[in-house]
Each structure stands twice: as C-alpha cells, then as structure tokens.
Structure 1
Amino acid sequence: MNGRWRLVQKLSIIALAGIVLTVLFGQIVLHSERQAINERLSEDTRQLEYQFRQVLRNYAFATEWTARDLSRSGQQALNLLADEAMALFLYYPSLQRILVLDEYYETNFERAARQAPPLTQAQFSNTPIAAKLKANTDFPHAQSALAGAFSETPEDIVLAISFDGHQGPQYLVLVVDIKRLFDSFIRNEINEGYQVEVSLDGAPVYRFAGSDELRDAWSIQRPLEFSSNQWRMDLWPTSEKLTDMHSASFAVVVSVGSLLTLGGLLLGWRSQQLQQRLNSSQQLIQQATKQLKIMHSAEDRLLFLSNNDALTELPNRNGLQHYLEVKMETARQQTSDFTIFVTCIDAFDELNHALGHPMGDEIIKRLSLRIQKALPAGAFIARVSTDCFVVIAAKSDAQTTYALAESIRHSITPQLFIEQHEIYCSVSIGIAYAEESGYDVETLLYNGDCAVYRAKQQGYFGIEFYQPEHLHQRRSRNQRIQQLREALETDQIGLHYQPIVHLREARTVAVEGLLRWRTPSGESVEPKEFLELMEQTGLIFSLTEFIIKSSFLQLANWQSDYDKNLKLCLNLSLRQLTMPELPELIRHYQKRFQLSAEQIQLEFNEDVYLQLCKSHKLTVEQLKKLGMQICITITGVSNCLLEAIRYCRPHVLKIAPELIAEIPHEAITTELVESIIKIAQNLRLQVIAVAVEEQQQADFLLQRNCVLVQGHYLARPQSAQDLAPLLQQPIKLNQ
C-alpha cells in the first residue's frame, strides 16, 4: 500500500512538474517573442530616425551649397538663384519656399512651389530663425527653427544660413513643408504593416495609421531631432503584421511539453522499483563527489592566494619572498647581482577615496598590465601592497637600469578611460641592488622602500637609486612621526591666537588660531615643518579634530566671558579642507559648544582656493551651507582669481603679508594693495590686512577704509590665557 501511495505521489509530481514546466516554457517563449518583436520595432524606429536625419542633412547641405554659390556669384547671385530655384523644388519635393533676406530681414528674393500659399508679410526680424541667426552670426552651417511667419502652417520648419552678398550680409532661407516631408519620407522608408504618428509638443503633425488598437501595447517611441527641432515618432504594427511576427513556437512548446509529461509518467512508473534500490547509493555518491570538489577547489584557491594577489593574479608579498629567497641564494653562490624596482602609484589613496574602491581596483588591474608590457623578457613582477609593485630584473649599467625605470614610468603616463572618467596616474620608482643589501631579502626590500620614499619626496614621476643616506632619512622620518604621535597624545601641540583688530574702534573683533608644536626640549616648531608629514601619515584627521574642538571651546568661553560677537578664524590646508569628515566635525562641535556659524571663518590661501573652485567646488558649497564664512589670503589680482570669486564667492579677502610689508614705500605694491581694497569694497566683501608691523602701514590702511588689521604691531600670537586681557580692554595702537 505504501509503495502504491509513493508511486501515486511520484506520478502526481511528474504530471504537475510537466504542466508547470510546459506553462513556464510557454511563457518564456511568449516573452522571448515579445522581446524580439520589440527589438525589431526598436531597430526599425532607429533606422527611420537615421533616414530622417539623412533627409534633413540633405536639405541642410542644399542650403549651405546654395549659400556658398550665392556668396561666390556676387551681383549675379539672385539671377543664379532664380535659375536654380526650380531645380531645387524638383529635387527637394518638400521644399515650399526659397527666400533671400537682407541684413534687416526684409525680402530681397522669393520663389515658392506651386502649392505654396503667398506670404502675408515681408519682414521677418521677429521670427525664431532670425533670433538664432543674430545669436550665431559666425556659425558656418545651416541653422534650423520653426517656420513662424514664413509659413501658414506652424509645424513647418526653415533652414537658414548667412552669406556675404554684394550689398552686405544676407540670409538664405529655405521653408520646408514638414507634413509633406514626413509623408514622403515615411512612405518611402516604412515597412508594410507598420503604423506611424509624428507629434510636436504633444500635438500630432503627421499620421500614417489606420487603427490605434495595438498602439498602447506595442508602440515604440523615439525622438526625431534635427538642430533645435524635436519631434516624437510613435511606431506600432497592424494586427496582421503582429500575427506574422509571432511564430508557432508556443504551440510547439505545449505539444512537446504534453508529450514529455506523458513520457515522464511512463518512465516514472517503470523506474519506481529501480529508484528505490539506487536512491540511497546515489545520494551517498553525489554527496561524496560534491564534498571532494569543494575541498579540492578550496585547496587550490587557498594555495593560489597564499602566493598570488587576488585582484591582479600577480605574485603577492609571500610569493615575492619565496622568489627572492631562491634568487638570492643563486646570486650569492654565483657572486652575481640583480636589480629591484619598487614602483608605487602616486596619491592612489586619494584616487581610491574619490572614485571608490571598484574604480580603484580597475585602475590597479590596468596599470599592472601596462607595467608587464613594459618589462623585458625574464623580468619578475609582484604586487606587494595596495598601490605598490616590485619588479626584479637582471643587473645592468646605471644608464640601462634608469632607462627601464623610465619605460615603466612612461607606460603609466597615458590616461585611463574608465566609464565616464578620464584618469591620469603617475608612479614613483625606487631602485636597489641585491649586492648592496648583503644578499639579504629583508634588507633589499627595505632599501627599495627607502629609495621609493626618496623618489616620492621629489614629487610625481620621481626615480631614485638607493643611497646609504636614504636609510638615515627614513629613520629620521619615522622618528619624527613617532614624536608627532606623542605630541598629540601629550598636548605638546596647541593653538596660539592672534587678534584681528578694528582700527577705528581699537578693539579685537576676531582671533586667528595658529598651530604651534613645542617639543620637550623647548623648541618651537612651525606648522610648515610638520603639517605635510601629518597629511601623509593620516595623523591629519586627529590634528584637525583637535584644532576644531579646542578652538571652538575657547571661542565659546571667550564669548561667554567677554564678547559674544567675537569671531574665530582657522587656517586649513587643502588636505584638511577635502576631508569628507570635515563638515560633520564642524557641525558636531558647533552644536556642542552652541556657536553661531557666522562667527567662524575658514581661511585658505589663493592657490588652495583656486584648486577648490576648480576641482572641489562641492567642498566649498558644503562649507557655505553650514553658514561659515570663507576667507582667502591673496597676493595679487589675476583673471583666474577674479573668475573664481565671481562663481565661487567668498566672504572675506586677506591681503598677504608680503604685500603689506612693502607699503607705502613700494609704489607698485601700494597700487596693488589699493586695488585689492577697492575690489573688496565694490564686491561688498570684508578685507583684512595681515602682518601690519608699523604705524605708517596702519595709517595707510585706515586712510583707505581698510579697518581690519592683524600683525605684531598690534598684538603677537599668544596663548589663550595670555590673550585674555587684550579681549577686555581697547588695543593700544601705538604699542
């Protein structure tokens, strides 16, 4: 009884599966047919669009060719056009009218086709095509627009071009009957069984259709564009055409599915006994086989990844280590030598961060292929880190070795086109010899790292041979980095503040936060000596957070104790300004200390400002959205700067110290400072003079209504504690 029940279950399942599969494959066939029909309709519409463009290009060519003949013919131009007009009407049957207008858009010549109605006016200065001709006087090709007053039918178009006539500039205008053009074009190009409607701004212009029954379900829409004119074309098949497009596949699938279902029921009944006997053993075999395949695949993959990079499939650091151990042993025994090239992609972290890791992976794969193509036969290459490759080649003279490094560098130089991005990359290359390392693998790799670090210090595209002093420089750099880490942790790095003074009111209206590092030995280190190193190591984020947190807290305390309108100015580098975390850091601490955004100024120099406006405009917009003021320190007035100020407007201009130092004694510099002050005042921007060192400079600025100044003459940078008394009393301008 149980056996019969299992047989019934099995046969029921086979029958149900056969029916489901038949229906499923039938639907798939129907879907495929519908997709094929849609693709065919789309291809036909594309062909129609292409042919339509060709037709209008022919009309545009006729316009340009005729205008060229008129320009060459001089005074006989209109007589020549009168002779050629009939030929144009015959060759271009949709051509309705030919006109020649003078420079005031009044008619000098007119010929019309037989069916064309007469024009109601002879002056066309207010037509759409006249506006386009005025706006593009030097455009060498025919321009197109809606006909307007050139035709009684608003859907018609005109093609026009300017040319030099014997009496001055003139315009050749060809009026095209758009309905007749569409009718001629579609009747010549359309396949039998298709229906078409062309519309302009939602209103039908031409229709070649007998029934809209299938339009909603099968219509293919495509824009028809020429110059600034745009129509929409809808194409759909007739019922007979659609029937012809369908095949007999669905009926075949149903028939075959039914037969296979019956066959399956028969086979299921015949195989029941055998299935019961073999089922257990087959399951065991299948499971064992599957597990073995998975194990072998995993083992092979793990073995490969242990020595190779998953992205480029080049040897990784482990594979390089194995290769170098064998290579070193051979070189030691034979007293031979070989060369190692440590090749690092410049600023790859910025590329990866800006474009995303998938784009960064694609860059790495393409660059690895370029490097491999540049290598000589027998060279070895490995990828040892995210942006670093190691190349090993036979040793040769210094000139040949440098030439190989140049070859690697030049292979990277051409731009990469990935999706919509055009990407330029460069590499820095460090070169070391095995013999100089004492045939020790770790020493050789470290020497290569020292050389490539030295190459990076030269800027992009650096190539450097390892020298013993590089090791000392590398160790000094590592020691400096460790000192900076300890300085951040032990509060050796702090902020001093310099007042920004209002000369007329003799009071401090703002303070600028200036970074200072005082080492345990008492040495005071300026930011320019350690800021770049912090940017390279990632310490810049911790430093930036410290600057924002401590300066915002100090400003909140000063506002609470002395002046609630006191402002804070912070000078940030390009790396700090482009940190994605910067807006959120500012927003967080501004909210935490309850500061008004208008009382915070972010200052950067002219070069950083131009680069931000060119490549990081979104960063400036994000900072402005926070409500903070943007302050630029400028050294002069250039077209690039004025253009940037126009499209990326700041709030404050600072006159650079080198300009203030030369006023009022240097005439040219004095004129330049006066120009900057006038520009700021005309643009209603605040202007601040920096590094005022004497009374004469202060008087000069005050006479020109530059009342905000900063410099040692008024107050030196001081700690927050020492600066407090200056915030409570007027500034002495004669100190």
Structure 2
Amino acid sequence: MLASSYNDVLVLFSFIVAILASYTALDMVGRVATTDRAAARWWLGGGSVAMGIGIWSMHFIGMLAFSLPVSISYDPLITGLSMLIAIASSIFALWFVTAAALSLPRLVAGSLIMGGGIAGMHYTGMAAMSVMPGMSYDLRWVLLSVVIAVLASAGALWMAFRLRTQVNNVKLLRALAAIIMGVAIVGMHYTGMTAANFHMMGSMAGMAHHGGVNTNWLAVVVIVFTLAVLAITLVVSVLDARLQARTAILAQSLEQANRELMQLALHDNLTKLPNRLLLEDRIQQALQKGEHEGTLFAVLFMDLDGFKAVNDAYGHHIGDQLLIAVTERIQGSLRTQDTLARLGGDEFVVLMEITDPADAATLAAQLVMLIEQPFNVSRYELLVSISIGIAVYPSDGLTERELMLNADAAMYHTKNSGRNSHSFFQKSMNANAQEQLQLMHDLRLAIERNELRLHYQPKFTAPSGPVSGFEALVRWERPGSGMLSPAVFLPLAEKTGLILPMGEWVLNEACRQLSEWHRQGHQEWSVAVNLSALQFEQPDLVEKVVDIITRHQIPAEKLTLEVTETTAMLNPDVSVAILDQLTDLGVKASIDDFGTGYSSLLYLKRLPASELKIDRAFINELTTNNEDASIVSAIIALGQTLNLKVVAEGVETVEQQAFLSRLGCDTLQGFLLGRPMTPAQIGDRISSDWPGHVIPATELEDVKTADIK
C-alpha cells in the first residue's frame, strides 16, 4: 500500500467551501420558497448551479489535498460528470424542500436520493483520478461513507425545510446549520477517501506521468472560482432580499395610503361616518337584497333643530364637537348591521333593515328622546333637538334617489309640524318633493337658458347721497313662475353646489354692467358682489376675479366682494390669506351681516377688509329697541377705530337714516333710499328724481340720539 498524506491548508479550504456551499444552499431554499413562481424558477436554476459547484468544489479540493508518492492527474470528462451529478443533486434538494409539507416517508426517500447523489458524485470524482498502479476500495468504509451521505442529506433537508422562511434570527440559524452541514459533508468525503487503497508496485522511479489536468495550479483556480461563484450568488441573493423587503414595505405603504384615501373618499372627515357616496352604495346593496330576498329596510333622514344657533353663538369649534357628540349618541342606539351616515352640516341618515315599519318608528322615537337631552360640550350645556323623516322600501320608493328624496320630504314635514319628532313619508308630501326636484332641475339650466337676472340696490353716502355704488342681487326669471326671490332658490343652489357657477355668473355680469356704467360717465360708481361660503373656499377664486376684472377692464378698487362674518370666521387664517391676495390686487373686501356671527376681534383686526356691513336685523327695530341701538353704536365705533367704512343695510325710516348718520355711518342702503332695480330702471332714475328722499339738515339736528335711546 502507498503511503498518503494531506495538505492541511487545502483541507481547511475544503471545510470552508463546504460551509459556504451549505449556507448558499440554505439561502437559495429561502429565495425559492419566498418568491413568486417565475422568479423561483430562476433561483432554482441559478441556485442549483452555484450550490452544486460549491459541493463539487469541496470534494475536488479535498481530492487535491490528497497526495501520494506518485504522480496524480484527473480525467476532465469524468471530473465534469461528477460536477453535473452535484448540480443535479442540488436541483433535487432545492425542489424537494419547497414542498408544502415534509413528512417522514418523504424525508427518508429524499435523503436516500440526495445521499446517493452525493456519494455518486464523490466516487465518480474518485474514478477521474489517473494514478498508477491503481486503487481498490474497502467496502466497509464505502458503506460508512454512503450512510454518512444519507444521514447528512436527511439533516440538511430537514434544516433547509425549517429555515426556508424568514423566522426570527434566521441568518444566525442558517450559519449554525451551515457549519453542521459542512462538517457532515467533509466527514462523508474524507470517509470515502479513507475507503480508497492505492497499491505499491515494484519500482516507482520509472512511473510515467499520465495526461490530464496537473494539480500544481488546479487547486488555486478551483478555490478562487468557487469562492467567486458562491460570493456572487450570496450577494445577488442579499440584494434581491433587500429589494423584496423594500418592495414589500413600499407595497404596504401604498396599501396603507390606498386605505387612507378610501377612508377619506368614503367617510366624513369630522365624524368618520360614511359619507353620501358610501351611503348610496349601502342603499344599492340593500335594494339588491330586498329585490332578491324580499327584505324591508328604512331610510331615516335626520336634521338637527337649533344647530345653526349653537354654531353662531359659540363658534364652529363648539359646533363640531356637538356634531361628534350627537354621532356618538346615535351610534349607541344602532345595531352593528345598521348604517349611520353624515351628508354634511347637521344632516344624518340611518339605513336600517326592518321586519315592520314599526321598527323604524321605535328607533326614531328613541333618537328624538335621546337627542333632546342636554349635551355637555367643553364648558357649555347645549340643547338641540332632531327632526326625522322616514321612507320605507318598497312602499315609499324603489330607487336610492326616490327613497332619499321622500325621506327628506318627510323630514321637512316634521320640521314644519313643530320639529323634535318623526314622520313617515306620505304621498301628500310627494308634491313638495317633486317640486323641489323640478326646481333643482330647472335651476341647473337657468344659466344656460339665460334666465338669471341681476338687480342693483343703490348705496348712498350718508345721509342721503350721492350714490356711491350698488349691490348686485340675483333674481331668477323662471318660465311659468315669474321673478323668483333669492330666498326661494339660493338655499337649494348652496345645497347642490350650483352656487359655484351661479356665483361666477353674478360676478362676471356685475363687472360687465359696471364697465358699461363707467363708459356712460359714472366713473365714481362701484359694485358689490356677495360671495357664498363655497365660492370663498375655491382654490382658484383669486385667479377668477383677476380674469373677470381684466376681461371687463374695470378698476379693481371699484369692485367690493362681500363675505359674511360667519364665512370669514369659518377658517380665519385661510380667510386672511385669501383677502390679502384680493386686497393686494386693489379689490375691496366687506364683512357682511356683521354682528350676527361669532368673531374674534383679534382676527377682525387682521382681516384686510375695507368696510363692515351692519345686518338689517339690528336696523329694523333701531328706534324702539335700546339694545339694538347700543349694538349699532358699538359697531360703528368699532369700525371707526379700525379705520373701516361702515355700511348699514335695511334703512326704511327717516329716524333710522338720521340716527345712523349722526353716529357717523358712512353708507346707507335700504328701501327708503332705493329698492333693487334693473339697469334700465336705474337709467330712468338718474334722469328724474334721484337720489330720492333727502333728509333736511334741520331734521337731522332735530333727531337726537337721546330720543332714540
């Protein structure tokens, strides 16, 4: 027998390669198991090649570490075949452990196939050795090496299956498992090498060097190539894992963003209740169920009584808290299958499945009693009530629109009947509901059909002239109904959003008429236009104003935009920003209905307004109500202190005219001096008896403030 020895450095490298190959195998199992099917095929193919090369390299380096006192070379074809066996075994291993379950019979079968493959690779590689005089095998050691290969395969497959998912500390566990697997692979290899016996011939000196690959440089090449393949594979795997992790995070972020967007799109921002859009979908589902299963459901349309008074008296912040408190009370009385939605403002809707209309009446009566109880909001005790209208499917409507419209009509019937109660829809209410529907339809076409008209009420420099300008007031000349007052259609326009195109038309038409008056020589006249709350919230309001002023070529300072005190105080910081932009252009701002809202003097001081407009409610009983006289005096004094012009509307008597003039009111407006008129009527007045009632100076002096107080 020939004496053999091992190169300790190469033995160490074979052990390192075995560990790296094992770690690569475990990592590839994770990549194949956690990626989609298309990517898994690539990882299965590429990972099997890298893993197979790693296992084969360990075996080959171990063979190169083996030395005899004779020359050894290797047959390239047989050596390549052993590599293919290693790659095929790796493909089997990666495929095997990606199954959903790993039963004991399956593990035994897999271990036998995998162990046989590794043993086949080893002994095929041994057969590639070209050595004289030849070698033989000790079958006991061969059998032991095969047993070790099978047991090592069983352990490797079991650990790979357990560590294929991203469990806690998976990298550390894979590293420990790779060391164990590396020891097993090295143990099998060197056990197989021990099984080989090399026989001694009579003379070794004349032994020839057979053809094949020389071992002097082959070890370095194999080590470098193998480490490079394994390193590249691991780096690509790590980068892919990080990319997948970031992709997963991004996907989660997008999913969260989509959920938030869906929440915003389908829910009310204040109360978090379903909004009109989601309510419509729920009603459609209830309609489908009712049609197929014959179930009944009711729509309860609810409106708070007295909410506006709370808002005006205590401010929108308290009003919002009250709405949240109302929401909580209503939700506490509902079942989980019922839907409570907020349509906006103080309007709520309950959608409930019923077995009898009495179920809806019972809930409505309960809610009426519940809401009329005092609410403790902040430091205030607030009292409101609720009016409810009920429409039942299918008797009161077969569509979402019919049910909502009829429930709304029933709610208004409740309000007109004294409030704080509930009413079922009746066909007698349908006339009003249909009228509202037709009114809404006609209003949508009013601008297109050129049915809107502007009347202009003159504003006089106190006490009785001259005319300083006009306030533009919209009217609707509805076919078959005559000239309609704004009180008839403006609330509907506000509710449906039609106020936006209507308001833009009013602004454009008023500026066009002012331009015409200026061309006629009345350069001193100005025009005031009311802005609704919705208009004031438009992000492109300033751009639209600039466009209209430019189009009609009027001086910006001759346009006054009137904003109610309540609108201006709804979001004071935003109001200040918008009015700043408008006044920078030269447009004047007026705070309309001053004294009826809830404003802070701090914000009032910041608002870049040019005038305050006293609400007519304070002017009506000015000569008989001491409180109104005191309020008006205070408002005028406040305006003078803040260098704001003060306009009084609703002046209808000589006493009111005299009193306001003596207090220093700058501008008067009312029926006493001039009613709203068409441009043609204004032209006639100019050529006749304008300005109308002129109060003599002696009469002014005769009216004493003390007399009014």
TM-score norm. by structure 2 comes to: 0.47
TM-score norm. by structure 1 comes to: 0.45
Larger radius of gyration: 2
Name which structure has the greater RCO, CA cutoff 8 Å, separation 6+: 2
- Greater share of residues in helix: 2
